[in-house]
Structure formats: structure tokens, C-alpha cells
Structure 1
């Protein structure tokens, strides 16, 4: 039937646009429409029969979907996101849906056997108590928010799965979120044995066609459970009953591009709107989540002990100030003993590449990226110096370009450097490396983790990818090569990140045997954060950190919005930031704190100069309202950009 349709485009435009159509698409369908001399994809958000007055309406070019991809609840969620994160409705809807014309099925999780093959597991007393609390609280459609707060290896996954069984038995659907794509496969394999082919996978490494195929399967109700990383929180699950958010502390749940949403906030909003249960879990909750548990905003469910015959590993600090190599004598000795006993080692370093930076010992020159305010990192296997922010590369040098001295060197070390050192000390060992560089090719992550899990690999070196939710039966020793990385970053979350990373990496050891060992190498052996991590004093760390946040007024005792003005011309960026600050202060006292403008800690990235303004207040609503009042009248000069980050997780 002929009519008119309102279309939202994934563009930074606040309004929708009206088109005529012979057959009116349902709201939630994708369409192609003429826009500014181009043909753009958009989403139909409303239909009507009245022609707009005052201008000629163009016709739609094509309707891509017979049935809507987005439910009415997701359309409304997109509208809420637009207001929450200062983005357009179309941008938020575009973030949700796969961008593909044709669908392609992902191979079945069931491996050809659609019948579930449940593994009978008797929960521990703590697990049974948590399951009972969740299932009794979620019965009858009552919404609930729970946090599984337990040591690493305490069986959080089994609580998730038995709670999911309860929700499925009610005829409702489930979204199961993990922070990394690398974990999606591991979780999918577990679900295959428990639930058969009722699960679908959504993550960014799938092709758009594969994502569209899975999306349609979910939308039709063929898949009642969805496993995926951050964007899977938007899955169109029918009769949503439960969202599981595993490893809640992970920064990967925060989107880095507009709209800069946090999957935790979206999960809370969806569960509230659709009367679903939310279960989050971590051994190291974010400080915000821990504060909510302490103040009654989340119901904490404690899992205090390890299962599977394991015990908490013994952690020991190694003082590196007198060591001459990246691997201390003690760590080398314990690696040798572990290998001789037929068991495995993980070495963790939060930096990829070979060396941290080039410097001249004569004049102090350091080799920085010409486009960013950071040093270049040597990647030995590529023979290149690389910027990890913009991707700039250049050849390594052996003469100082400033003073022509030959007395130059490369300081610091990355995973490549450690790999060379490990191979030199342990030439007979089977060694693999897992970082962003080695994991770029399809299937590499699964192959590396599979080889280590099966015992083919003796020593696994890695960055943060080895710190997240992975279980290895043969693992005995974890060596944290340098625990200091990031400890003194100019960010109020630096202590939290350092403590979490040490605790999570250490948590890979001792899951199946009670004699796991963790060595924490550091140049700051007396640092309180490192000492608390080594002592396993989780509660002590949170008490200290929450007291610091309370005194300094940082989250969870305030809400923040970060504004970053960037552009190629430094003075233009400074002038625009000054003008924005003046507008925020105009008309009387600013409702809260307005800090800046000041240069970002990373003042230049990819050739763009960066200035920031931090807005902070106790409630958040007042600064959000003030910014909403100012932005419509604030227009940036051509070539400048404004990034708005609500509740930022980092300030670099």
C-alpha cells in the first residue's frame, strides 16, 4: 500500500527524512534511499499516509527486508542511546544491525547433532545457592540484577549455564556476552554440549553476510541463545529473559567510536525495559560495580572457593632492580623446573613488539611517531618501527638523527623480545606467542589456544589476550614479566587496571592443581597495588581505591563526560576548545565541574592535535542537560571534530 516512510540514516544528523513508497516497509526494515546525490542505507522508523507540506518528497529506491530486522524494543533502545550518548538515532540503529544485502549461515554450533548432550555437573554449595537465588528471583518475570563475585576458577560459568537452562525452560531467550572474540569459540563449545543448536554467534570477525544470517535466525526465533562480544547486546532475541555479562570489568565492553556506548549500560537498560534478569560476573569487578554491590544496587552472589580440584596459586614478587635480563634468575629457574615436570608456562607482558623505544645515550633523543605523541616500537620480525596508535612505520636506525652519535639503543621490551630470550634459554621447549600481531590471521587464535590447551605448546607468551577467562589443565607457572606497565599512566583508573590485570593473569594458574605458581616481576616491589595483588587482597584493594575515589570525586562518586576537540591545525583546535568551554560556562554557574580545556595526555594522534574538557558532577544529569543545551548552537570550523564520551573508561 502506498504511503510515506520516515528514514533514519547512520549520519550525525538529528532528524529523520521522509520518502514516498509504493509498498510501505515496516518500521525496523532496512531501506536504500536517495540522499544528497547518493544512495544510502537507512532504517525505516515510522510510516504514515500524510504527505509532508512545503517540499517535494523523493521515492525510496529499495526495501531490503520483507520482515523487520529491528524489533520495536530495539528501535526505542536506539532512540534512548541517541540521547544518552549524544549521537543520532540513525547512528545508533546503524551500530546495531549487520550491513549486508545477502545472508550466509554460520556452520552449526551443534556439529551436525542438534540434540543437546548435557554434561551432568553437581554444583558446589556456593554455586547451588547462587543458582537458587537467581532462578527464584527471576521467576514470574521479575527483573533482577546479580553479580557473581568469586575468585578465578570458582565456577561462575556453571552458574551462568544452569541459570540459562532455567530461562530457556520458561520459553525465554538469552544473550551471553564475553569481552573478547577469542573467548566466543570457547563459550560456544560449552553451549554446544549443553543446549545443542539453539545458540547463535555474533561477533565482528564474521563477515557481514554471516552476521545477517545469524541475525535473521535470531529474529525468527530459531536461535534462542546468542553468544558474542560487545555488539551482541543488541541481538533481536525473542522474549528476552536473561543477559549474562561475563568478565564485567573488561574495557572491551566500551565502544571506541560514536556512539561510544558501554555494553553494561545497554544490558541494564534492556533488562529494565524487557523485564529480563541481568547476571554479571568477575573475580575483579569494576570499582563502579563493587560500589553498587556495597550500596545495594547489585545483589552480590559470592563464590569463595575454586572447584575442579584446584587451589589459589602462590604469588611471589620478584625485585627486578638488580636483574640484568628481562627474565629474572628465579623465573628462569622455575620455568626449567616446570618444563622438567611436564607442565606448562604462561609468560605475560602487556606490550607487543620487540622493544619499547629508541633512544640516544649521548643526547637523549627518543624516536617518536611524527603523527602522534608516542614513541615508536620496534617489531623485529617485520624490521620496522611501528606506531601502535596510527600505524605509521619506518625503518629502524642505528645513528642518532639529532647528534649523529652511534651510542644508541632500544630500551624496554615487548613480546617479541621476550620470545627471543625464552628461545635462547629454553631451546628445546615448544613456544608460541599470542598478541595482536600474531593473532591477525583468521583461525590463528583458536589454533594457538587449542595447541596450548592440548599440551602441544610448553610456553605461551602473550599480552592481554591470555588474561581473559581461559582454562588450561596443564598450566603450572605464570610469569608476569613486568607488572609496572600502566601503573603510572595519567588516568584515574591506572591502579584499578594494574590490580585487575595482575589478578586475572595470575588466575590462569592452579585451576586444576593446588600447586600453581605466579611470579610477579616488578621494579616497584613496595608499590601498594602490586603488594595487594600479590597477597590476593581483593577486598583490601577495593577499600583503598574506593576511599581514594571518594576523596578525589572520581567515579563511582561522580559521573563524567569527556569532550575532545581534534584537528590538524593546533591553534584552531585550541580556539575551538576555548570557545566550547566559554559556552558551557555562559549564563551563570556551571552545574558541576568543568575542567579544562587542556591538552590530552596523548596530545597528538594520527596527525590530529587533541584538547579535552572534562565535565563532572555527582548525579550526571545536570552536566548532560547543560551539554545538550550548548551543543545545538556550537558549530566547529571545517576540519575539526568533537568526540563526546559519556562515562569514559580512559582519559588518554
Structure 2
């Protein structure tokens, strides 16, 4: 009959709290359950991480002030000792509270719904011989499941070479050994085909975890996993925390994808969490992509990740013909679609085949500009240009959502000589409809379609209900269309000049991934890439199929500039609604970090390797963030860079604990940032 409970809450508080279970009964345990508590003057949800009949040592206050819980939310535990251990690691690695870590891991539903597996069939759906494996595939499966304990693997090959089937066969082998499997996909709406494949293969043994589920549905799936009813979990980023009993394998599909990195605290990367779980349990981790991250490629080259290569497209297709179109030589009156791309679209439609047009920018045009005074309209809350949405007749910020009516004259000087530069998916849609009036056209971006509508729209294109699909990165990955012949990348340069060290990597991956949609079933696929920079490394390599050369040169550049994978990093963003406060915090934070690093270097008994790492650690900044203002918050940053993530984390941890943050201001800490914008 445990009377005292150790409880943590979802707040940035690096401590636990003692509560009383006034209604404790013999044999009852509340460990692993969520409880409804009074926290200060607020009602809060807490997580019970331990319990005891005795008062905690060093309580620090009168035991009579210990509050009783209001009630237990769960009838049975929703997390285990293993979950708590993983949360403690997450808390330490990403410098967040234990309550914040548990909150991102455990579903938020108050009660279970009768939801079960999105309509999966029964266990009879498990089949071992879904299709014949190629020799390359068979070798990969055997290498993954028959290799040394705890070895990490990478399944590398162009799109359409059968990576999904290798993942499913490896999962089958793990299940046959009585083990559980976690299968991660980047964005659930874009990988419906993977979900369907898992559902068809594993039936009721499969569970799905993703953001489209209600909290109650998510809790139902979570409890199916805990009970062992569901032994393979497929889901997006947070599914990496699934409490799978006897976990035997983790799969990360499209490992390079940026959506595996959380954009809010705790800012974890699912790949890092998966590596930790697999190393701790001594089980295989298998990742896969046609465009591995630069870090993964370097680890493969160094032999720290075992590479398995697939080279042959299996559905009767071939790698598409890729051509680069230099837009600087085009007639400016042609619009966003070059003469060559227009001709190829016409030929594709004449053959009753389909085309995809890709542009990584929403809206009608990029920015408003006055030709008289040079004024550019930027968001009042963010330091970014506003984008015109012609149907709404409004300029909108894609960071905070603020919008204004489309101006008829310059707000600065009153001139009528105004214009718009650049173009987005809405602009292209209008142009395409004008040039191909008989074509059935669908636009996919977050302005035109909701996540719930996306699977049906993609399925409609697959069934041939649309002739041309155009959109943003939604159309660039994870999709498989039998009748697709032509892919057009309208402007390949969009992200190339972003002030971020991963800009080249992202550009190469996007072009390669969207090009991979073509030619998967027929050997006549074509890809046309429009660009103003045809000689830029990522564009030239992506269009010419020079994958190894891109990675070699990009790794060489990263080594010269000192960026990952040749260093580890942390980004500290100081933000406030006051520009002066943000800048002052960053200055004070920089001074404090310098003192912290000096004191760490002077400490006695430091191993030589750690001392060397400290000497090589840099404090870059403070400086304005490239996006200096977002959602009315001014942003300044400091980058910590060095060879040891342990040194960097300790510096960041001491800063966060030792710096008194002014009211209405924040410090965001991002360990291993995916971007420094």
C-alpha cells in the first residue's frame, strides 16, 4: 500500500514532486499511471515515476503540506520502467525536464476509444512469401537479421529498388523470433502505401501511431502495444518511443527526412533515439533512403554503419532520363514553364500518361516590391517576405499566418508602380490551367488541401482521376504512381541559397527524390529540372546521377568549414518580444558561456581526451538569427561547436540552470540542430 508518490509534470522544471495517495488500497500500485493533481493554484496532469510507503529523504518541508492526488487518470499503467529510463536519457541528452520527456512519449488521451488498428485485418494477413526477392534483397535481409549483435545497417539504393520489401521481410524475421518491431516513416500522410503494406502483411499484429489519430485512439493503440497484442508499430517520429515488449528491430524509412527532428521541446531526433534504444538493447537498427543524410553516408564510409546496396528497379521500370534546363537562356515571356517542359507535358497528355510538377514554394508569388522606392513588404511579426495568395487577394506570412489585403499601391511611397517577383504553386496552377485547358489538374500544398484529405487525393491520382499533379514537397517523396511518365522540377534553386549549412544536402535530396517518382513501372520516364544554376554542385550531381561525387565533395566542404559530421553542435536561441532584451540576453549568455568553458577547462582530474575536446570547442556568436523575427519574437543565437557533444551539452545545461531569464523571454536549446535558421 504505497502512500507517497514521486510525480513529474510537463513543465521545464528539473525536479520531481511528492504527493500522497490518500485512497491507497492493499496491493494497488500507481506507478506508470497519470494522475490528476493540484499544482500550485493550477490543475495539472502528472506522471507517477516511483512510489513508497516511507517519506522521501531530504523532503525539505513540513510533511503535513504534502498534497493528495485528486484521482488516478488511468486504470492500468501506460508506461513502464523501460519508458522512464528512456525518458531520463532523453531528458539528459536534450536538456529538458523528465516531465517534458514523458509528455512527448506517452499519449494524452483520457480514456480509450474502441478504435483498433485503422481497420486492419486479422492475424491471418501475415504472409511470408508476398513476392520473390531479388538476390540483392535476399542478401540485405540476411545481413540485417543475421549480422553481429547491435550493428547498425543502411539500405541504400535508388527509388523503386525494393527497399520496403526488405524492411518487411526483416520485420517478419524479427516477429518469427518472438520479437517486436518499430517501423518509422517520415510523414504518415505521405506514406499511406507503407501503412497499407504493413496492414496487409501483419494484420492485427500491427498498430499505427501518428498525429491524425485522436488522443483517445492513440491511447488505444498504445495499450495494444503495451499488452503485446500489437507487435509491429508503424508511425511517424514519436512512434520511436513505442513501449514494444521484447523489441527486436527498429526500421527508419527515408532516414534523411527533416521531419524526424522535432521542432519544439524536447527537440529530439528520432534517429538518435532509435540508435540509443538499439545500442542499449543490442538489437539491429536498419535505415534506408535513396539520399542518405551526409552524417549517415560518412558513417557508412567509416564502416560504423554497414551498407547494403540495391541497384535494380523491380517493377519493370528504369531510372528516368533527366535533363537540366537553364532558365537564364529562356524567353522571359514564357512564364514559369519553359518551352521544353511545355512540349513534354503536351506529349505526355497525348499519350494519356500523367505528369507531376514540383515547386517548393506555396502561394502565388514570392514577394511584393515597389519599383519606385524599392520597398518590399515583410511580415510585421517575422523578418520574412509576405507571399501573395491571389484567390484570397491577400499577402500572407508562412511562418506566423499574419495576412493583409493585397495592396493596390506602395504602402511606403504611394506609387502605383508595384509588382510581384518569384512564383509559387498557386501561380503555376494558373499558368498550367491556361496552357493545358483540357487537362485535369490537382494542386497539393498545405494551402489547398488538409492532411486528412491528402491520402484520398493521392489515391485519386494513382487511379488516373487527374492528369497533372503539382505541389510542394508533399509530392516529392514516398509516392508510387504506375502511369506517371513526366516529372518537372519548376525551380530547383529555391532552397539553395538559404543561409544554412544543410542547404546543398536538402536541394540534392529533393531533386533526387522527386525525380525518383518517374520511370518506376515503364522504362520511358523523363525528368526535367529547371534552374538558373545548372552548374551548382547539388543540382548538377542530382541531374546527372553523380551521387557519390556529391557526397564526396559535400563531405570535403563540411570538413573544411567544420560542420557536422566533423563536429557536434548546439544552437541556443534567445527570443523576446523586445529586440533589446533578445540582444542583451544573447550578449550575457555569450559571456556566461565563456566563463563556463573556462571553468571546465581549469577543473582538475579531467581526462586528456576531454581536455582536448574542451580546447577545440567554439562559441560562435552571439548574432542575429538568419530569420531574426518570427511571430513577434526577436531572435538572437549562439552556436556551440566542437568534437564532443558531452562538453557542449554540459555548457548548455549550466547556462540554462545558471542564467536568470527575464519575464516574457525564452532560451531555446537545440542539441544537434537540423537547421540554424
Fold match (TM-score > 0.5): yes
Task: Verify the 8 A CA contact 1:109 1:189 in the aligned structure 2.
Answer: no
Structure 1 residue 216 displacement after superposition: 0.9
* Structure 2 match to 1:567: 576
Aligned counterparts, 1:448-527, within 5 A: 448-527=457-536
Contact 1:154 1:305 in 2 (8 A): yes
Separation in structure 2 between the aligned mates of residue 241 and residue 281 of structure 1, nearest angstrom = 18
> Of 306, 317, 331, which aligns to 1:323?
331
1:184–1:229 Cα contact (<8 Å) kept: no
**Which is further off, 307-316 or 521-530?**
521-530
| Structure 1 residue 330 displacement after superposition | 0.4
**Closer, same or farther in 2 for the Cα pair 1:90/1:479, shift >3 Å?**
same
Distance in 2, Cα, partners of 1:344 & 1:91: 46
Equivalent of residue 204 in structure 1, options 204, 208, 211: 211
1:43-62 to structure 2, matched below 5 A, reads 43-52=47-56, 53=59, 54-55=61-62, 56-62=65-71
Q: Does 1:369 align with 2:379?
A: yes
* Cα distance between partner residues in 1 of 2:385 and 2:102: 38
With 555-564 and 201-210 compared, the bigger mean Cα shift is at: 201-210
The residue correspondences of 1:222-301 to structure 2 (distance < 5 A) are 222-301=229-308
Secondary structure of 1:547's aligned partner: helix
For residues 246 and 376 of structure 2, what CA distance do their matches in structure 1 show?
57
Residue in 1 aligned with 2:163? 156
Q: Which residue number in structure 1 is paired with residue 610 of structure 2?
A: none
Per-residue deviation, residues 366-400 of structure 1 (Å, max 9, x unmatched) = 11101110001111222221101111011011201
Match of 2:17 in 1: 17
Cα distance in 1 for residues equivalent to 2:75 and 2:120: 30
Match of 1:636 among 641, 661, 666: 661
Q: Is the CA contact 2:364–2:426 (under 8 Å) kept in the aligned structure 1?
A: yes
Partner of 1:650: 675
1:435 paired residue number:
445
SS of the residue aligned with 2:249? Answer: strand
Number of matched pairs: 648
CA distance in 2, matches of 1:320, 1:457: 28
C-alpha separation in 1, matches of 2:144 and 2:621: 45
Q: Indicate conservation of the 8 Å contact 2:116/2:220, yes or no.
A: no
- The alignment partner of 2:287 has SS state of strand
TM superposition shift of 1:574: 1.0
Find the counterpart in structure 2 of residue 417 from structure 1: 427
Partner of 2:368: 358
Deviation at 1:283, TM superposition (A): 0.6
CA distance in 1, matches of 2:379, 2:651: 37
Report which stretch shifted further, 320-329 or 51-60: 51-60
Aligned to 1:611: 636
Contact persistence 1:154–1:306 (CA under 8 A):
yes
In the alignment, structure 1 segments of 5+ residues that lack a partner are: none
TM-superposed deviation, 1:479: 0.1
Q: What is the distance in 2 between the residues matched to 1:117 and 1:12? A: 44
Moved over 6 A (4+): none
Give the one of 386, 395, 398 matched to 1:385: 395
Matches within 5 A, 1:152-231: 152-231=159-238
Of 339-348 and 629-638, the range deviating more from structure 2:
629-638
* C-alpha separation in 1, matches of 2:38 and 2:9: 11
What TM-score do you get using the length of structure 2 for normalisation? Answer: 0.94
Q: Residue 557 of structure 2 is aligned with which of 533, 537, 548? A: 548
Judged with a 3 Å threshold, the aligned counterparts in structure 2 of structure 1 residues 172 and 246 are, in CA distance, closer, same or farther, namely same
Among 28, 31, 36, the alignment partner of 2:32 is 28
TM-score normalised to the size of structure 1? Answer: 0.97
Q: How much has 1:275 moved relative to structure 2?
A: 2.7
Q: Is the 8 A contact 1:105 1:214 kept in 2?
A: no
Distance change (3 Å), C-alpha of 1:131 and 1:197: same
Distance 1:323 1:494 in 2: 28
Whether the aligned pair in 2 keeps the contact of 1:603 and 1:611 (CA below 8 Å) is yes
Task: Determine the C-alpha separation between the residues in 2 that align with 1:183 and 1:569.
Answer: 39
SS at match of 2:66: coil
Q: Runs of 5+ in structure 2 lacking a partner?
A: 602-613
CA separation of 1:108 and 1:606: change in aligned 2, threshold 3 A: closer
User: Could you tell me how far 1:627 is from its partner in structure 2?
Assistant: 2.5
* 8 Å CA contact 1:109, 1:188 repeated in 2: no
Q: 2:103: which partner in 1?
A: 94
Which residue is 2:140 aligned to? 130
Task: Give the Cα–Cα distance (whole angstroms) in 2 for the partners of residues 447 and 627 of structure 1.
Answer: 45
Give the drift of 1:189: 0.9
Q: Distance in 1 between matches of 2:116 and 2:46?
A: 29
Aligned pair 1:334/2:359, yes or no?
no
In the alignment, the residues of structure 1 paired with residue 126 and residue 273 of structure 2 have an alpha-carbon distance, to the nearest angstrom, of 32
Once residues 257 and 378 of structure 2 are traced to their aligned partners in structure 1, the CA distance between those partners, rounded to angstroms, is 29
Distance (Å, rounded) in 2 between the aligned partners of 1:539 and 1:28? 48
2:95–2:649 CA contact under 8 A, matched in 1: no
Distance 1:401 1:57 in 2: 60
Asked if the contact 2:155/2:163 (under 8 Å) is kept, the reply is: yes
Work out the CA distance in 2 between the residues paired with 1:497 and 1:504.
10
Q: Indicate if the aligned counterparts of 1:28 and 1:70 stay in contact, CA closer than 8 A.
A: yes
- The two structures, once aligned, show a CA RMSD in angstroms of 1.4
Report how far residue 630 of structure 1 moved.
Answer: 3.2
Any conservation in 1 of the 2:121–2:200 contact (CA below 8 Å)?
no
CA deviation vs aligned residue, 1:468-487 (integer Å, no higher than 9, x gap)? 11111011000000000010
Shift of 1:184: 4.2
Contact 2:8–2:47 (Cα < 8 Å) also in 1:
yes
Whole-angstrom CA distance in 2 between matches of 1:209 and 1:184: 23
Counterpart mapping for 1:401-416 below 5 A: 401-416=411-426
Moved more, 33-42 or 62-71: 62-71
Determine the structure 1 residue equivalent to 2:604: none
Q: Deviations over 1:38-93 (max 9, x none)?
A: 12101100111112453221111111223211121111010011111110000000
> What CA distance in whole angstroms lies between the structure 2 residues aligned with 1:187 and 1:559?
33
- After TM superposition, give the deviation of residue 234 of structure 1 in Å: 0.8
Q: Is the 8 A contact 2:210 2:235 kept in 1?
A: yes
